[in-house]
Amino acid sequence: MDDPLVSSEAKDHTSERYRHSQMAEETRSVEKNYEFDRALWNITATFSREERDNDKMWNSSFKNTVEQYAANDCSRWKLLGFRDGTRASGHWALGIVTCIVGGQITSLVDKTIAFVGDSLGRQQFQSLMCMVTSGEERPEIENVGWKYGLTKTLGAVRPDGWAYWFPHTNTTILYYWSATLCDLEPININDTFFTDFAMHLDRPPAFLKQYLHQFDVLILNTGHHWSRPKFRANRWVLHLNGKPIEGRHLVALRKVKKFAIYSIVRWVDSQMTWRPRLKTFFRTISPRHFFGGDWDTSGRCDNTIPLAGGNEVKQDESSDSIVGNAVKGTKVKILDITAISQLRDEGHISRYGLTASDGAQDCLHWCLPGIPDTWNELLCAQV
């Protein structure tokens, strides 16, 4: 019987060797990614020098400071003359009911909201954190990452995610890194630094299996790590039914991605039968806007005019057909952001990142505040 995942198309790429826990990003090496992540991270911890040098610093008590991220995380809006970032987030009059009014959570009381996905999922989490705090210092917010195993382990660049509790509304907002929404486990448990990792296409991340029962709202996403360079960099080995896929070098990754998305949707849908309070959304892919090349061939996104290519979404079906078809007939809802985000090519970090290297442009991630805020407005309207 032919393997539905196997295709005759296969291309080899230059192999990079990084530890899985570091997860190479789209436009940076692992080391530069960490600095880039810290620049994007909107909730900063104030540590003493000793605490910064301490490998347990993510477990230390610290002061949460939610910064005005328009000026701190991406200089683009400020350099273009928009000091408060309103240009980025006030572009659509959506006319929808939001769960955030004046920085207060109105419809998320007594709820746990979990984002599980890649770095674009992390940006949506960061956006929501800043939306619900109004960009102001909120010392009462508590870091509860330890409750979900989200602590920085020895040798890791960063924890696998973050979780924060808002005591006034008993609301927890968390993020967990899972670039493919597949379960990953080291093949050689005796050498976790150099081992390859079994990527189980038919298994959900262990984190979801362990903590799903605690969530009220779950937002999933994947999309930008389904490429051979990423698979080689992260040392992922495709597995199905607990075994390596034969001829995996011939596998068409688009088919693999489709299989994995359908698999996680079916699993979550089956779990929702026993968890009627759980609302699950699968966010569609966030568009890239590289013009004149790609991330590694001098691609650019220099446009500064909002909606230069039009201001209407005329299609009825989702631009992300894999996710759109996967959720049909299930209790998992689609959070369709692809088409509206496609209109906003001027909203990317571009060359304005605080740690950007000469000539490099980030046309994948977004300036904050910005497009991810709109994703959260759409999310709140459905919650």
Structure tokens at 35: 């600095």
Q: What pLDDT does 218 receive?
A: 99
Q: What are the pLDDT digits (tens) for 260-286?
A: 999 999 999 999 999 999 999 999 999
Q: What pLDDT does 21 receive?
A: 35
**Nearest-angstrom CA–CA distance, 276 and 338:** 28
Residue type, 184: L
What are the backbone angles phi and psi of residue 198, rounded to the nearest 5°?
A: -75, 125
Distance of CA 25 to the CA centre of its chain: 11
Report whether 141 contacts 47 (CB < 8 A).
Answer: no
Q: What pLDDT does 91 receive?
A: 42
Residues 6+ apart with CB under 8 A from 323: 261, 282, 283, 284, 285, 334
Structure tokens at 231: 């698979």
10 located within any domain: no
Q: What are the pLDDT digits (tens) for 368-378?
A: 888 899 999 99
Residue type, 285: I
Q: What pLDDT does 44 receive?
A: 30
194 located within any domain: yes
Task: Give every residue of the chain whose pLDDT is below 70, as ranges.
Answer: 1-105, 135, 249-250, 289-300, 308, 353-359
Q: What pLDDT does 295 receive?
A: 58
Report whether 81 contacts 142 (CB < 8 A).
Answer: no
β-strand pairing of 171-177 with 112-117: parallel
Q: What pLDDT does 250 receive?
A: 66
Distance of CA 316 to the CA centre of its chain: 25
Q: What pLDDT does 72 receive?
A: 42
Report whether 64 contacts 139 (CB < 8 A).
Answer: yes
117 located within any domain: yes
75 located within any domain: yes
1 located within any domain: no
Q: What are the pLDDT digits (tens) for 291-328?
A: 665 656 656 677 777 776 777 777 778 889 999 999 99
Query: Structural domain tally of the chain?
Result: 1
12 located within any domain: no
11 located within any domain: no
Q: What pLDDT does 296 receive?
A: 60
The strand order across the sheet containing 161-166 reads 142-143, 161-166, 171-177, 112-117, 217-220, 279-283, 333-335
Domain range for residue 208?
Answer: 20-51+61-382
